[in-house]
Amino acid sequence: MTPDERLDPDELLKAVQETEKKQKLGKLKIFFGMAAGVGKTYSMLEAAHNLMKEGVNLIVGVVNTHGRMETEKLLAGLPLLPEKWVKYKDTVFEELDLEAILKAKPDLVLIDELAHTNVPGSKHPKRWQDVLELLEAGIDVYTTLNVQHIESRKDLVENITGIKVNETVPDLLLEHADTLEIIDISPNELLQRLNEGKVYFPEQSKIAAQNFFQKDNLTALREIALRLTAEKVDHDLHGMLIKGKKWRTRERLMVAISSSPSSQQLIRAARKLAFELDAPWYAVYVDTGVKLNDQDQLRLNAHLNLASELGALTITTHDLDIVAGLNRIAKQKGVTRIIVGRPPVKRNRVINLFSQNIIERIEKENKDVDIIVLRQDKATSLFRKSHDFHREPIPFVSYLYALITIAAITFFGYALLPYVGYKSVGFVYLLGILILNFFLNRGPIFFAAILSAFAWNYLFIPPLFTLAIHDPEDIALITIYFITAFLLGFLTRRLREQDQFLHQREEKMEKLYEIEQEIAESATMEALISRVTERLELMFDGFFNILVKTDEGSIKFDSKINQDEKEKAVASLVFQTGQMAGWSTNTLPSVNSLYLPIKFSKEAVGVLVYTPNNKRTLSRDELNFLQTVNHHLGIYIERHFFEQKIHYEDYTRQIEKIHQSLFHTLNRNFYMPLEQILNILAEIKKAPEKPIEKKLLSKLDDFIQNLKFIIDNVIALSEIESGYVRLNIERLPIQKLIDEVLENVKFLTKDEAVEAKGQLNLMAPFDFKLLKLALNNLIVNAFEYSNFKGPIEIEVRSLEDSFEIKVCDHGPGIPKEVHPYIFDKFYRVSGEDKPGLGLGLSLVRSVIEMHQGRIEVKNKEEGGVEFTLILPLKKE
């Protein structure tokens, strides 16, 4: 095998991946014909009966018999799924029940009339989109299609028949079809069927015979259908690897598009050529910074969507020079053929010459690329922005400003004339033109240049008050003046446009950078959502929201979306499919908001919701900006969940370690208290009824309370570490918390003093049960390690955005060498014979961290230890 015959590893890998992907999808079979009545539905139903005999689980999704008796007979005996009712403008229509088919999940579903347009309010605007969803769900589909509904053949069919085709199907469906079965009969036979009433009802047949169903039309349509079928077979062969040889072409096509209506024809022509060559192709729009109106923007978006549906990779690039933008993309993508439309012929020969030079530039600057210029009936107004001086209406006030400026310069020139010659006045006019360039557009500048030339000639150049010029030097001077003024105006305008263009790009990059900074600096998910939505709402006229996935794998809705079940369903659909939907899209466009999936590594991790204040169509640049923001959001959200996962895994390992340690220590720590309890009970049994019994029972109660306290700590810490505990934040008075804490530790404090002071009536948000447990441990710890020297002090204080609870004792303090370890689990100061497992302070820290607070500890100068719990005042 020669080096040229070896398989490209990248192409081979791509082919394998495409094969694997296709194996997971349902199989699509299209019964294809030149026109209605050739027998497509009949053949489809015949095939269904044969498959039923073989045991295939199939259902009929939708079949339209159009009153044909033979077809209706074949429909009998097949399992029919009832169509759903859709209400639109006080009328009820029957439509394919997509949800019912997905729920039934048959092996095969029959769906007639692939090009059908669904009633507004359906999930998808087009039936072929329903079919794509069924294929993605792994369900096989049999369907029917006429040649006039193929998108790339639409213009050709309209030219042949003279009848406009309103419903089309993207060519990609033919490309993805596993089988394309052409149902072919001769035009004469079809016309005979029409006359016999086997195609339409008699009245409809007469109308059809006078219009679409003419022999010449049917002959041409049959030729197109046969050619298209042959191209499909050839295309499938090109995708195969036979005997170690590559069939795939190295061609790459690029088509230049604009907001012109004729760009549709240009796109279809490019698609047809790309299909024939089995080549990837790009649809490129060069944004020159000229703001499009809503109609042009809507049309441009439609062109880009059409190109995407037909299989193109759409690219929007920014450049003041259209040719430079096209050349740059062509070089980046390795394009071998560029398809452009010939600019329309204009009456102005100068403009025509300029337009021709643009095409010549494309040819000159792309020596290694074939340039395909389509004929004029397929031309696009790609270069209209470059040479159309009247694209945007110039307000009358601009011309008025130009007139006033020239008049002012004229009066100034009269005042200056006695001191300088009339030639110097020309430079004053030129200076005025140059200044006007910074404020006015081309039209007023051109008007000012002409007006100033006439004023200078008429009022200053001899002979005065006449347009005649006798001196050849003056003739040359006025000519040079006019050319210089016009060129200065043109160049200055170009510099202004370039400056505005660069400023727009810089502003966009700056805003994107600011959003990236907000994403990077957000400490919590709530902060991220708040900051990013605020930034986006400053840029777009509307409201934004970010819905993030939950631990269960669904998305969490806020109160706004929860109020509308339809919007909620669209958000869930976008999260599940990873495809944008809603307003201004082809999926559920009737809803009020646009839903964009936030992805990371092809998996949706959230949904960005945009609700516009008005229905202005978003530009492709704005959509790309939102998708870029989504990309950064996806990285942050995935990182957030990854960190949570790592944190949870760390907790799990700690829990396992704790469980092991507990098993080793429980026997030793619980055995002694239980043994003492048993000994005391034995003494009680021996002793007569004496006052000592009360003392012994009191000791027994202390031991039991101490044991209960230890067990409570073990259980609480185990639940916290395992993640079973969830915060129940409520706004409650601190006084109530302290009262219950002191009641719980009575078994230890007895009559020892506990002083509570400060803002005890403060209402603060916290989990009552958990914070009470933490304070219990702090006070018990203070009593045990202070050796009951002096009162325990509790102080409550409110800060700006938080509150703190201090617990102080008057004991010996904590040795410096053990400070770093006091919050570790099972840590106990050596030499101290105190009850417990060493879990108290560890439990306190866990509770405070769950509240997103912090704990500080220090030795007091006068003796003793001060623990400070600092908790947020804002309810999370």
Q: What is the pLDDT of residue 141?
A: 93
Which residues are within 8 A (CB) of 62 and not within 5 positions of it... i.e. 6 or more apart?
Answer: 83, 95, 96, 110, 111, 112, 113
Domain count within the chain: 4
Residue ending a domain, choose from 387, 404, 419: 387
On whether the CB atoms of residues 67 and 203 are closer than 8 A, the answer is: no
Q: Are residues 141 and 78 in the same domain?
A: yes
Residues of the chain under the 70 pLDDT cut? 1-23, 197-212, 234-250, 343-357, 375-395, 442, 489-490, 493, 496-497, 500-501, 504, 558-564, 586, 655-725, 746-752, 786-790, 821, 825-839, 875-876
Amino acid 160: pLDDT:
81
Check if the beta carbon of residue 332 is closer than 8 Å to that of residue 193: no
Q: Are residues 302 and 403 in the same domain?
A: no
CATH assignment at residue 131: 3.40.50.300
- 401 and 364 together in one domain: no
Let me know how many helices (H) and strands (E) the chain has, helices first.
28, 23
Tell me which amino acid residue 223 is.
E
Domain that holds residue 46: 22-238
Q: Residue 287: which CATH number?
A: 3.40.50.620
Same-domain status, 258 and 233: no
pLDDT of residue 538: 84
Q: How many whole angstroms separate alpha carbon 108 and alpha carbon 489? A: 68
- Mapped onto helix, strand or coil, the DSSP state of residue 218 is helix
Q: Could you tell me the two tokens for 485?
A: 């003024």
CA–CA gap between residue 821 and residue 646 (Å, rounded)? 24
Q: Which of 256, 261, 228 is nearest to 319 (CA)?
A: 256
If asked whether residues 77 and 210 sit together in one domain, one would say yes
Asked whether residue 630 is assigned to any structural domain, the reply reads no
Same-domain pairing of 36 and 53: yes
pLDDT at res. 243: 38
Residue 596 within a domain: no
Residues 381 and 401 in one domain: no
Q: How far apart are CA 618 and CA 374, in angstroms?
A: 30
Instruction: Give the amino acid at 806.
Output: K
Q: Which helix (H) or strand (E) holds 304?
A: helix 294-309
Please provide residue 120's backbone torsions phi and psi, each rounded to the nearest 5 degrees: -55, 135
Of 449, 478, 498, which residue constitutes the final position of a domain?
498
Report if residue 617 sits inside a domain. no
- Say yes or no: 817 and 861 in one domain: yes
Of 181, 212, 238, the residue that ends a domain is 238
Note whether 91 and 217 are same-domain residues. yes
Reduce the DSSP state of residue 765 to 3 states and report it.
strand
Burial of 592-615, coded b for 16+ CB within 10 Å and e otherwise, reads ebbbbbbbbeeebbbbbbbbbeee
DSSP state of 795: E
Residues 380 and 404 placed together within one structural domain of the fold = no
What pLDDT is recorded for position 590?
76
Q: Does 527 map to a domain?
A: no
Q: Which two tokens stand for residue 194?
A: 């029409």
Classify residue 518: in a domain, yes or no: no
Model pLDDT, residue 29: 92
287 close to 244: Cβ distance less than 8 angstroms:
no
Which pLDDT score is estimated for 778? Answer: 83
SS3 of residue 383 by DSSP: coil
Task: Give the pLDDT of residue 370.
Answer: 85
Phi, psi at 431, each rounded to 5°: -65, -40
Structure-block tokens of residue 648? 């949870």
> Between the CA of residue 623 and those of 267, 291, 479, 596, 610, what are the distances in Å?
21, 16, 49, 9, 11
Q: Token digits for 236?
A: 């499938």
Q: Which tokens go with 448?
A: 């000012």
Say which residue the tokens 């030097």 belong to. 473
The reply to whether 320 and 232 lie within a common domain is: no
* pLDDT digit string, tens, across residues 749-785: 555 677 888 888 888 888 888 888 888 878 877 777 7
Q: Is residue 510 assigned to a domain?
A: no
Is the domain of 71 the same as that of 49? yes
Residue 737 counted as domain residue: yes
Give per-residue pLDDT as tens, 440-496.
776 787 788 788 888 877 788 778 777 777 777 777 777 777 777 777 766 776 776
Would 573 be classed as within a structural domain? Answer: no
How far apart CA 687 and CA 670 sit, in angstroms, is 26
